[in-house]
Amino acid sequence: MISQILVISMLIAGAGGLIRGITGFGGSLVMTPLLTLMFEPKLVVPTVLLLEAFAAAPMLRDAARVAHYRVIAPICLAAFATLPLGGYMLVHADPNLLRRGIAAMVALFCVLLLSGARYRGPRKLGVSLGLGGLCGFLLGGTGIGAPPVILYLLSGPDSVVVTRANLTLCVVAISIAALLMLWVRGVFALGGPLSPLAMAPCFYGGIVLGSQLFRHFNEMRFRQFTVLFLLVVSVVALFAR
């Protein structure tokens, strides 16, 4: 018999997939705050990372052809170096404090997106390394490390196609490294109510459905609706007991 909490987890995964399928982002931003209301972050993060990493797999071939490796290589290398620090925080930090930290980070990202904030400075090596280090620490500790990279890469002169490819490769590379780090730490489980095996069909089914629904929505308005929805989710997670 399927437990009630597993059903709720699967529904959250489906909602995350739907949002990701329509907007191209937001899967982890939906799932992580909501799932941490029921489970410790150290149990949530590996599952969400695994689902998101595999979701991007079909895009990797095309992304690898057009990505600018000089842009993303310093970010990824710095992120690899700081992932263990984030993993240490994930394992040892107070779960309630970490949950609120995750919710606050999602809320901040939503506010920045709604305000149109972007990085305005030059793309210097030091900036890329610092940004990569921050992303690695955040991804290892919270499962949400992409927002700073998104704001940074969106500010550049690259086309939409190149920017999307850069984001795809960067996030997947860091996510896989984070999964390996968490596996070594023993923070990984394939069973129970957070089983990625149970949640994956709902998540990927949501992506397929969202991709089909995408053509029926005004892209800009739905993206704004999604960011507002994520803001509400994060505020609820931030103040929930």
The helix (H) or strand (E) run that includes residue 183 is helix 160-184
Which range among 26-30, 80-84, 87-91, 113-117 shows the weakest confidence by mean pLDDT? 113-117
User: At 195, phi and psi to the nearest 5?
Assistant: -65, 120
Of 70, 29, 31, the residue nearest 169 (C-alpha): 70
Distance separating alpha carbons of residues 156 and 207, to the nearest angstrom: 28
Which of 82-91, 119-128, 229-238 shows the lowest per-residue confidence on average (mean pLDDT)?
119-128
Instruction: Tell me the C-alpha distance between 188 and 68, whole Å.
Output: 32
Is 179 strand, coil or helix? Answer: helix
User: CB-based contacts of 174: which residues, under 8 Å, 6+ apart?
Assistant: 76, 79, 80, 83, 135, 136, 139, 145
Mean pLDDT throughout 165-193?
A: 82
Q: Give pLDDT tens digits for 190-212.
A: 666 788 888 999 999 988 888 78
In a 13 Å sphere around the CA of 214, the CA atoms on its Cβ side amount to: 17
Distance in angstroms (rounded) separating the CA atoms of residues 55 and 210: 13
pTM (2 d.p.): 0.82
Exposed/middle/buried for residue 162 (C-beta within 10 Å: 0-12, 13-18, 19+): middle
Estimate to the nearest angstrom the gap between the alpha carbon of 197 and the chain centroid. Answer: 19
Q: Is residue 118 predicted with pLDDT exceeding 70? A: no
State pLDDT tens for residues 39-73: 888 889 889 988 888 887 777 888 889 888 998 99
